[in-house]
Structure 1
Amino acid sequence: MDAVSEDLVLLPATRRALSHRIAVAQREGRAPSLVATVVRGGEVVWEGSRTMVEGHGPDGNVQYRIGSITKTFTAVLVMRLRDEGLLELGDPVEKFLPGTGVGEVTVGQLLSHTAGLAAETPGEWWERTAGTLRPELSDVLGEHPFRFEPGRRHHYSNPGYTLLGSLVEAVRAKPWEDVLRAEVLEPLGLERTTAQPVAPHAGGWAVHPWADVMMPEPLEDLGLMAPAGQLWSTTGDLAKFAAFLVRGDARVLSAESVREMRTSATPPEPGLADLGYGLGMQLTLSGGRRLAGHSGSLPGFVAGLWLSEADDVAAVVLANCTSGLPASTLAADLVGIVAEAEPRIPEPWRPLREADPVALDLCGPWYWGTSAQAVRLGYDGSLELGPVGGSGRAARFRPEPDGSWTGLGGYYAGESLRAVRRPDGSVSHLDLGSFVFTREPYDPQAPVPGGVDPQGWRGIG
């Protein structure tokens, strides 16, 4: 067994800890059934289930309704349209869906829940009533669709994702479900993810809060609201989807675009999106660990999918109860159990196959004013810039065809780093978003903004 496959085999103690955690959750949450899975390195490394019926536990092929995890699927479709050049995130909705009354909101605002739209539809509780009661977008939005000025704050909106589903239909000229199947489900091999339940599937139950009795929940077709919460899926399929949300897939969406989905586009919303909300993905901290994913619920079902990019671990939890079992919290706990018990084994160090002499002369110490910084050239050809021996702004940069470098995260995300050269080709200084980095603090030979005192460095006489 090689080193890679060893990393994908969990220790018996870890497996027992995972089994114990879901057993406690199912008992305390009084869920009729629960199924969970953990993914590492893009592969399922553990599956578990609990049920009230002995000997008939669900497995990774049994469907549960996944509620708002559907939104992440819808967001993938919208990002595909963006990557194909058919829309921009800054485009107003009016461009694709004229006459809605909310046309000034942008595609990006809808994806990140910053459009200011109401959280729910007007009228009856949409999750427990037939979608035929809301045949038009006007029925979903109502006469007073706004709660806040667009772009001002994060406010979770189910109608907002109905608009995105309708936008997909308008651009593709096909039903949302058909587009989803052709462009996401089939390429990723998600054969058990459907808009309507396909056996074997769990039934949805309401468990009485003060008595150990149950009542079946109605299973409604959400109609226009489908892009916000309609889907049924399995832990097997969602494990594949979680792996995609970490790595991307050229057939669906690039790694760069799914990384953009995992990047905060809004201010934090405590209790819902603690680190903000990305583009169709919630972001939170659990045990000091940054997680991306989504929670989901509809009457009769709760769901949670979380991934830790740093640990390359994801977990999915599905249960068939309206409330009681915190599926999202449980999924985060499963990620933490694996990440803490069995830290990720890093890839071996390896050198560049061919050292780039232009990049090599950028490596080593630089100074931003009096702050010591260091530039390193990675084996993948990227540059890393960060403070020496302390905290501060650090970033990784990818090379561009014109010889510049673009920041990939943190303060310098999207900013351009350029090496400014002297007539003889040697590097004078680095320019990063107007900041000048020199080979010595306030180098008098470099164009330091504000100039350098001609008397230079000195003590106090």
Structure 2
Amino acid sequence: MTTPQESLLPGTRRALLHRIAVAQAEGRAPSLVAAVVRDGRTVWHGARTSVDGHGPDENVQYRIGSITKTFTAVLVLRLRDEGLLDLGDPLEKHLPGTGVGEATIAELLAHTAGLAAESPAPWWERTPGSLRPELSDVLGEQPLLHPAGRRHHYSNPGYTLLGALVEEVRGAPWEEVLRGEVLEPLGLHRTSTRPQAPHAGGWAVHPWADAMLPEPMEDLGRMAPAGQLWSTTGDLARFAAFLARGDDRVLSARSVAEMRTPAAPAESADVMDGITYGLGLQIRHQDGRLLVGHSGSLPGFLANLTISVADDVAAVVLTNCTSGPLPGAVAADLVRIVAEAEPRIPEPWRPLREVDPAVLELVGQWYWGTHAFGLRATADGLLSLAPLTGGGRRARFRANGDGTWTGLEGYYAGELLRPVRRPDGSVSHLDLGSFVFTRQPYDPEAAVPGGVDAEGWRGIG
């Protein structure tokens, strides 16, 4: 894959290189590679020091650890979109006999099923997967630590169960399903469950000396869906573009947007940091931006993929050491550098292709009580409701084809917007989830709940 370095300004490229150089030097990483994606394509690649005697490029594999979970989540969402399961289904319905079958598929995806964070000893990341051949070996004697659905508690065994679910429903190994349904369609030819040359070796760096120790690279066996994959900055850059925009060959834009939507409450320790979890994606607020993606770590490797959908910028950072650099912080900085130095150019405004008189009748100023709102028809076929002054609830609405509209986000997500018409066919008011919006504040001619005082508006005498 070629990297169109000219797509970024020289000053931006130097700032990106400076950031990863500082991370590699101060983090004492044997090597560190990074890529930046903008407008759905890789626009920058950088690397520091060498792998096997040569500078690592976008085709050198690193182990990506828990970024694997995002791939597994994509497979589960594909099953849902095909109608083979529902996210509200208990696991037992599709994968019986686990002992934790009351947990729903959505809870497993969002780490709210109450499962333990790790499998029983010995430490699964540094021992062969052959020690845990069955799901019972992964779950142990006390798999549940918290009530289901009550709190976010990150769980590696939970994603092992999701991998087993994929195998049960598809009737094929997780690795085979992943390759056929995600890796090949997206062109991720350098992503694999086992290392393929050229690849980096994993190292531990002594905390008090500039000395290194090779880390074991175990096959995780049953735990593979939680952290087995190896990949490259080139492949993960393409995967980031997919997570931002969708690809109908794999998962629609609507479904990847669902993955990016918070599905779990933030743990108390994370509330101040604005960190939560979607369906296979970590979500955080940083530098005034909403960032989604996933981190990954296994002995000898650290990884991070971070996306700012609003800026249409993503970053991938991979390194081959057990600890040292903070790939998540580096990736967020790479996104910020590009977004601030070269802000996204808005799409040009375009008018509606066709003007529907019934829709045009709805737009304009409306009042919820005394609070003024504006309702606009946008070129993408949606209605957009927002307060005219100050803060307040806002949302976009999608037409249902019967004159009603369904909310897409925020307080009004899933709520029905229904124009209520008079006997002559004109619009009297809007009913939005039982809230009445009128053309005038407390319009006496509209069906305002509680009625409108017959004496109308007045001063204090």
The 8 Å contact of residues 290 and 308 in structure 1, kept in 2 or not, is answered as: yes
After superposition, give the CA deviation of every residue in 1:97-140 in whole Å (9 maximum; x if it has no partner): 21111010000000000000000001110000000000111111
Q: Offset at 1:9?
A: 1.9
CA contact (8 A) 2:365 2:439 kept: yes
Amino acid of the residue matched to residue 112 of structure 2?
Answer: T
Query: After superposition, where does 1:292-307 map in structure 2 within 5 Å?
Result: 292-307=292-307
What is the SS of the residue equivalent to 2:262?
coil
Contact in 2 for aligned 1:376/1:384 (Cα 8 Å): yes
Distance 1:118 1:81 in 2: 25
Q: 1:174 offset after TM fit, Å?
A: 0.2
- Is contact 1:89–1:107 with CA below 8 Å preserved after alignment? yes
Alignment CA distance shift 1:53-1:88 (3 Å): closer
Alignment of 1:251-266 (within 5 A): 251-266=249-264
Q: Which moved more, 1:362-371 or 1:51-60?
A: 51-60
Q: Residue 231 of structure 2 aligns to which amino acid in structure 1?
A: S
- Deviation, 1:385, is 0.1
CA distance in 1, matches of 2:48, 2:222: 34
2:51–2:200 CA contact under 8 A, matched in 1: no
* Number of the residue aligned with 1:228: 226
Counterpart of 2:317 in structure 1 is: 317
Cα 1:254–1:45, aligned 2, differ >3 Å: closer, same or farther?
same
1:267 and 2:283 correspond: no
What residue number does 1:57 align with? 55
1:288 CA drift (Å): 1.2
Contact 1:8 1:41 in 2 (8 A): no
The equivalent of 2:368 in structure 1 is 368
Q: CA deviation at 1:403?
A: 2.0
Structure 1 stretch displaced more, 8-17 or 198-207: 8-17
* Equivalent of residue 28 in structure 1, options 26, 34, 37: 26
CA-CA distance at 1:56 after TM superposition: 2.0
Map of 2:409 onto structure 1 = 409
Percent identical:
74
SS in 2 for 1:276: strand
Aligned position for 1:358: 358
Distance across 1 between alignment mates of 2:389 and 2:274: 30
Specify whether residues 362 and 7 from structure 1 end up closer, same or farther in structure 2 by C-alpha distance, changes over 3 A only.
Answer: farther
Alignment correspondent of 1:184: 182
- Tell me the secondary structure at the aligned position of residue 130 of structure 2: helix
Please give the root-mean-square deviation of Cα atoms over the aligned residues, in Å.
Answer: 1.5
TM-score, scaled to structure 2? 0.97
> The residue matched to 2:294 in structure 1 has which SS?
strand
Distance 2:39 2:422 in 1: 46
Kindly report which structure 2 residues correspond to 1:151-162, keeping only aligned pairs within 5 A, or say none. 151-162=149-160
Partner letter of residue 427 of structure 1?
A: V
State the 1:341 CA deviation: 1.1
Cα deviations by residue, 1:58-88 (Å, 9 ceiling, x for unpaired): 0100000000000000000000000001000
| SS, match of residue 45 in structure 1 | strand
Deviation at 1:55, TM superposition (A): 7.5
Aligned partner of 1:34: which letter? Answer: L
Preserved CA contact (<8 Å) 2:270 2:276: no
Q: Distance in 2 between matches of 1:256 and 1:52?
A: 40
Partner residue of 1:3? none
Task: Indicate the residue corresponding to 1:111 in structure 2.
Answer: 109
1:250–1:389 Cα change, 3 Å: same
For 1:370 and 1:126, the matched residues in 2 are separated by 60
SS in 2 for 1:292: strand
Q: Is the 8 A contact 1:93 1:105 kept in 2?
A: yes
| Gapped regions of structure 2 (runs ≥ 5) | none
Q: Distance in 1 between matches of 2:141 and 2:384?
A: 52
Verify: 1:201 aligned to 2:199, yes or no.
Answer: yes
Could you tell me whether the CA contact under 8 Å between 2:52 and 2:200 is conserved in 1? no
Deviation at 1:380, TM superposition (A): 1.0
- Cα deviation for residue 459 of structure 1 reads 0.6
Tell me the residue number matched to 1:291.
291
* Offset from partner CA, 1:277-315 (integer Å, 9 cap, x none): 000000001211100000000000000000001000000
Deviations 1:129-180 (A, max 9, x none): 0000001111111111111000000000000000000000000000000000
Change (3 A) 1:418 1:390: same
Corresponding position: 1:328 with 2:328: yes
With structure 1 as the length reference, what TM-score do the two structures score?
Answer: 0.97
